Amino acid sequence: MHPTTYRLLTGFYGFYLNFLALFSKKMAAKKAFDVFSKVRKGRVLPDQESYLNDGKDQVHSIGKHRVQSYRWKGSKNRVLLLHGWESNSFRWQKLIEKLRAADFDVITFDAPGHGHSSGTQLHLPLYEEVLDHLVKIYAPNHLIGHSMGGFAILYHHYLRKDTNSEKIVTIGSPSEYHEVMSHYQQLLRFNDTVLNALDTNIKTKFGIGIRDFSSVKFVDANDKRGLLLHDKFDNITKHEASERVHAHWKGSTLISTEGLGHSMHQDSVNEQIIDFLNS
């Protein structure tokens, strides 16, 4: 999309939400949440199809969704991988190959609205709900999440007190939902009336508000061993997010890189993950 068209479109959405809030804050909040949760890319591309087809495991019915999982069996500990926003299970290809070479039992899945899974929307509570379902089925020893996937793992452990898993790895993950929402507000340029109504909507739907979705809070009582990987120049999720989480998570180690970007697919990163899982 051309930058000018993009600015006009986001500006229109913001104007529409502000106008709608004059008549119904509830409707404006619902629309704002729907737009926020809408997945616009991340389906399986033609050059990804063959690799994922080789690993297809099950299609899980979870609420209204059909979630595709993949598995490459091994004799060592079981590892569950969670991709980030507008991605899919193929993003793990390089790590999967290293895990397989080390004989780990590797499982991943496409989040709702992504890859081969159904739906058009994704938000943190939905991701956590799907994760909880799959944790009960596969009982992984270790969990690894990129970006939003890491956020979902920490939220899951806060809610459910998972006793089976031993280690958690997050890669370039955000820590504060309110920072994500602040960026969303700036992008669409809607006013605080809409933001406050959105906060009320989220509290009603999920029982906690925007500022309560905080990995800093989630890890306060987390007794798992954690590895936080984050690039200092990440232009999607600030490095400070992992610094804050590390400061509140007693069992965590923070590895900061320079120049590896947000995705962090590099061999050096994957080797550090393998070393951590083997330690």
Residue 1's pLDDT band, with cuts at 50, 70 and 90, is low
All structural domains of the chain, each given as residue ranges with its CATH number in brackets, are 38-176+214-278 (3.40.50.1820)
Residue 3 has pLDDT above 70, yes or no: no
Whether 92 contacts 79, CB under 8 Å: no
Which one is predicted more confidently, 12 or 218?
218
How many other C-beta atoms can be found within 10 angstroms of the C-beta atom of residue 191? Answer: 13
Q: Is the pLDDT of residue 264 over 60?
A: yes
Q: What is the pLDDT of residues 226-244, one digit of tens each?
A: 999 999 999 999 999 999 9
Per-residue pLDDT tens over the stretch 153-182 = 999 999 997 678 999 999 999 999 999 999
Share of the chain above pLDDT 70, in %: 97
Q: In this predicted model, what pLDDT tens digit does every residue of 51-95 receive, in sequence order? A: 999 999 999 999 999 999 999 999 999 999 999 999 999 999 999
Cα distance between residue 272 and residue 226, in whole Å: 13
Q: Provide the whole-model pTM.
A: 0.95
